[in-house]
Structure 1
Amino acid sequence: MSSRSRITATVLVTFAAGVAMAGDPYLPEDDEVLQTLPVAVLAGQSEVADLRRRLLKEPEDADLAAQVANAYVQLGKQGGGPRYYGYARAAIEPWWDESAPPAEILRVRAKLKETDHEYAAALEDIETLLQSRPRDSQAWIEAVNLHRVQGDYDAAWVACDQLSEFAEGVARVFCRVPLLAVTGGAEEAAGLIEQALPITKEKLPAVAPWLLTQQAETARALGRDDVAERAYREGLALDTNDGFLKRAYADFLLDRDRADEVAAMLGDDLSDNGYLLAAAIAARQTGDTARAAELRRELADRFRETRLRGDLPHGRFEARFALELEDNPQRALELALANWDRQKEARDTRNVLEAALAAQQPVAAAEAIGFLKEAGTQDVALQRLVEQLVEQLEAKP
């Protein structure tokens, strides 16, 4: 593999994590007892332990600290839970408040801020990095991602165009696909994915699960469930620990009254709050009230602990918790709107629409509906909700 291909692989693996790594990081104690973890995480711990021992001897080595932090980020992404983001933060703590730390510290610091939903602060770090490395593909991809998550599609396209001035074709495709999917170009995105999949599987296999997730989500939005199903399954066959993919497929199954399959897919691995939420909703859908109540209490405890640490739970998860597990549409609407102010991905917008509909407050969804129309977003699930909200509004005296 050429050096450029290795760089592109790194870029896209990092981009694939996206907001899928969302969690609530904290600084753990060194002697904290670890919960039951997926096999991939347990295997990775021995590798990062060696790096960590080296860092203890050389705590001022920025490159080594960034390497340790990135290793922990990957463990967190593989299902280890938010504590691994805390370990990553601890590794780069000496540089956390510096305005211009080394480039690799900036990169991983931005990723950690992103996991904590501090998107503006993460973008500042990426922009600082780009001042010294204007042809850094990975940094441009991160900039695109951060703009897109916040719903600033114009800025995301500008960053994507700047990347396209020097990056190779495959990087341009991966930059464009997520943006096209939400700005009226879902059909074009689907075509680009189809073209890119063969070379991705051959040359960049680590990125294939991410691209398959994009294929699945684009097909789902277009109402092509058969294509979506195949892509979800193929992606999971390649990487059973991809958190974003598992959460997306769980939602797909729940929407189609296939809750039993959600429980089977997730198994006992509920370390991720998104997994726990999906498992609780699945238990409720299947009528297992005792299991649903148990999981609901556990998730409520996690949210409470997060607040006790001075952080906020992920609004996307907490809004769904309020609506689908606590039957509190008003609270769900408040949480969904607060979360939508920070991030505007499809699931965040859907939370606003569903909560407004359940609370019988269609006007509360007006800004989200306007956002979808302005962007030209194509999504059959969102469109159905918009139509229901319009009907609800028209029926009001």
Structure 2
Amino acid sequence: MLATVPAGARKSTTGPRDLQTAVVQASADIESARTSGDPRYLGYAQAALAPWWNAKDAPLPVILLRAQIHQHNHSFEAALADLDHALVLDPRNPQARLTRAAIQQVQGNYTAAAADCRSLALLVEPLVTADCMSRVSSHRGAARGAYRKLLAMRDRAAGMEPRLRREIELTLADISMRIGEIETARLHFDQALTATDADAYTLLTFADFLLEQREYRQVVELFERYPDYADLLLRAALASRAINAANAGQLSQRLREQYAAHQRRGDFVPSRDYARFLLDIEGKASAALDAALFNWKSQREPADALIVVRAAIATGQPAAAAPVVTFVREQGLEDVRLLPLLSHILPERRT
């Protein structure tokens, strides 16, 4: 793992002028953003690539890094355009395939994601391909089979690189949660957390798991251990409210100020977490539904579906969740958190 530069340490946003130095610096910044969850590092990375940022004929390493920055910023169409271009330049580039598959999965384009996963077969080690395919197929009505196949391959693997081990365990944990195998999911989270140093995504998904199990004090303790991870603030605020902690109001106010500051910058886009904030902290169900539906246009993961359905029920407008119902039925999505709610908001199809 590349070293993390302390937040705010940069004195200049002017990037290097030579390509090799710029690529090394931007790569380090993107890794720091992934590890810390601090979006400022993405700005540093973009600054490093400034001489080539808007160039249509940018070198391949720049195109790949630019796509990752767009991906982190949820500018998925821009990321996909860069990745499509990268694969024209280098059809066998595994990073481009992996990143494009991840974005296609987030957007619910599972057929396209599966095609990219299959293209990895001769480019990367088998576990990477298996992890990619398992993520996709587990969202298309084959969750238990995907879990068994990936688990078997993990158990046969020897000398797995720690970062890959973490990714495999997170995939297994996610599938386990969605099929209702809670203690199995917990074991996989434990493995993921010990595979490498803490990173923002692992902490975030683990905190959500603890919230769903109503293990609120553990969420608060997690935030106290990692107070610099911004995305944990929402989870800590929700947990503190649930147990009537003395600092619950203070945490909620920090969230309000955080979102207000983001909105003032002019680049604010409603997200799944913002919809959760509106619904569960502010009690503004109608605004939460608007935010959740806006987010649904570009992100269609199970958690995105869940907040749409919850907000639709809270507003008394179950029909607003119709796009989610259609998507879940068409894909055969399995999720024990979601399906009971869906059965209550719209009638079953008649045959």
TM-score, L = length of structure 1: 0.81
Q: Who is 2:241 aligned against?
A: 284
> Deviation per CA, 1:165-187, whole angstroms, max 9, x where unpaired?
65542232122011011111111
Identity %: 30
The one-letter amino acid paired with 2:243 is T
Structure 2 CA distance, aligned partners of 1:90 and 1:67?
Answer: 13
Residue number among 366, 370, 388 corresponding to 2:326 in the alignment: 370
Residue number among 362, 365, 383 corresponding to 2:339 in the alignment: 383
Judging changes above 3 Å, is the alpha-carbon distance between structure 1 residues 341 and 351 closer, same or farther for their aligned structure 2 residues? same
Q: How does 1:1-397 map to 2 (within 5 A)?
A: 44-45=4-5, 59-79=16-36, 81-164=38-121, 166-198=123-155, 202-267=159-224, 269-288=226-245, 290-313=246-269, 315-390=271-346
Give the C-alpha shift of residue 304 in structure 1. Answer: 1.5
Moved more, 89-98 or 151-160: 151-160
Structure 1 CA distance, aligned partners of 2:85 and 2:125?
Answer: 23
Give the aligned CA root-mean-square deviation in angstroms: 2.4
Runs of 4+ in 1 over 4 A off after TM superposition: 165-168
3-state SS of 1:203 partner: coil
Q: Which structure has more helix as a fraction of its residues?
A: 1
Say whether the 8 Å CA contact 1:357–1:388 is kept in structure 2: no
Give the C-alpha shift of residue 308 in structure 1. Answer: 1.6
> Deviation per CA, 1:315-344, whole angstroms, max 9, x where unpaired?
111000001100111111000000010111
Structure 2 CA distance, aligned partners of 1:124 and 1:391?
Answer: 39
Structure 2 CA distance, aligned partners of 1:274 and 1:182?
Answer: 25
Structure 1 CA distance, aligned partners of 2:300 and 2:231?
Answer: 17
The one-letter amino acid paired with 2:62 is I
Q: Who is 1:34 aligned against?
A: none
Larger RCO (CA within 8 A; separation ≥ 6)? 1
Say whether the 8 Å CA contact 1:322–1:329 is kept in structure 2: yes
Say whether the 8 Å CA contact 1:65–1:92 is kept in structure 2: yes
Structure 2 CA distance, aligned partners of 1:170 and 1:378?
Answer: 23
Say whether the 8 Å CA contact 2:26–2:49 is kept in structure 1: yes
The one-letter amino acid paired with 1:292 is A
Alignment gaps of 5+ in structure 2: none
3-state SS of 1:44 partner: coil
Structure 1 CA distance, aligned partners of 2:31 and 2:124?
Answer: 25
Judging changes above 3 Å, is the alpha-carbon distance between structure 1 residues 71 and 208 closer, same or farther for their aligned structure 2 residues? same
Structure 2 CA distance, aligned partners of 1:201 and 1:310?
Answer: 49
Structure 2 CA distance, aligned partners of 1:346 and 1:248?
Answer: 13
3-state SS of 1:279 partner: helix
TM-score, L = length of structure 2: 0.92
Structure 2 CA distance, aligned partners of 1:202 and 1:266?
Answer: 32
Say whether the 8 Å CA contact 1:273–1:317 is kept in structure 2: no
> Deviation per CA, 1:43-75, whole angstroms, max 9, x where unpaired?
5328xx9xx99x98x922223212111111111
Structure 1 CA distance, aligned partners of 2:68 and 2:153?
Answer: 26
Q: Who is 1:18 aligned against?
A: none
The one-letter amino acid paired with 2:187 is R
Say whether the 8 Å CA contact 1:123–1:143 is kept in structure 2: yes
Alignment gaps of 5+ in structure 1: 1-39, 393-397
Give the C-alpha shift of residue 160 in structure 1. Answer: 2.3
Structure 1 CA distance, aligned partners of 2:157 and 2:281?
Answer: 39
The one-letter amino acid paired with 2:102 is N
Give the C-alpha shift of residue 213 in structure 1. Answer: 0.9
